[in-house]
Chains A and B, each alone.
Chain A
Amino acid sequence: ETGVTQSPTHLIKTRGQQVTLRCSSQSGHNTVSWYQQALGQGPQFIFQYYREEENGRGNFPPRFSGLQFPNYSSELNVNALELDDSALYLCASSSTSGSRDTQYFGPGTRLTVL
């Protein structure tokens, strides 16, 4: 148990819809990162939030957006869903910004876009 939770566990959406995924970090962890993991691939960095501000972004279009709240929870929003957005979405929290600290991963949300 890492103390990081994600909801929902599974989600099915259709192309063009919007989705919100949620992550609850460990208490005291002010950094959360979101990753997309396609089947058979390693995770890809989407973005990181530190103290409620975006603190780095990977090669993902603006329709991927996020929010971080003072209560150590965060959201990943994806607009105009595409079939290729089908993946496992992972969040990871840590106590310092960047990634030079142990990352505590949630169990992931598996998104299927039909």
Chain B
Amino acid sequence: KNEVEQSPQNLTAQEGEFITINCSYSVGISALHWLQQHPGGGIVSLFMLSSGKKKHGRLIATINIQEKHSSLHITASHPRDSAVYICAVSLRNTDKLIFGTGTRLQVFP
């Protein structure tokens, strides 16, 4: 079993839909990262959070430390949101980053 699990693996949506991507982890962490990877490989950091909730534009990230679960929400989705979204956790003891396998999102006009 992977230490970081994401669901769903693949997601398709119509433009304008509300999207939720989930991340569960089984290890002690000091922080959780949400990353966006576009075709071609470049990765952009969207959020880093250790508690509560963060919002940036149409993106919202939440984390529940007790339940070891985080969600990434996209409101009013747009085709340009199409990408792979990756959840990664910073291990508490080593500060090493462990990545999930990603959620491939496709938003159609």
B82 → chain A closest CB, angstroms: 17
Nearest residue, chain B, Cβ from A88: B41
Establish whether residues B41 and A108, one from each chain, have CB atoms under 8 Å apart when the complex forms: yes
Establish whether residues B45 and A99, one from each chain, have CB atoms under 8 Å apart when the complex forms: no
Nearest residue, chain A, Cβ from B38: A107
Pick the residue among B4, B41, B43, B97 that contacts A45 (CB under 8 A). Answer: B97
Establish whether residues A99 and B44, one from each chain, have CB atoms under 8 Å apart when the complex forms: no
Known: A41-B101, A98-B90. A56 touches B41 (CB 8 A): no
**Interface-centre pick from B41, B45, B86, B99 (highest chain A CB count, 10 A):** B41
A107 to B44, CA, bound (A): 9
Establish whether residues B98 and A45, one from each chain, have CB atoms under 8 Å apart when the complex forms: yes
Residues of A within 8 A of B99 (CB): 35, 42-44
Residues of A within 8 A of B44 (CB): 2, 105
Establish whether residues A104 and B97, one from each chain, have CB atoms under 8 Å apart when the complex forms: no
The majority secondary structure among interface residues of chain A is loop
Which size class do A's interface residues fall under? 20 to 34
Pick the residue among A33, A41, A90, A103 that contacts B41 (CB under 8 A). Answer: A90
Known: A98-B90, A100-B30. A90 touches B43 (CB 8 A): yes
A47 to B69, CA, bound (A): 26
A44 to B102, CA, bound (A): 13
Give B residues with C-beta under 8 Å from A.
Answer: 4, 30-31, 33, 35, 40-45, 48, 50, 86, 88, 90-91, 94-102
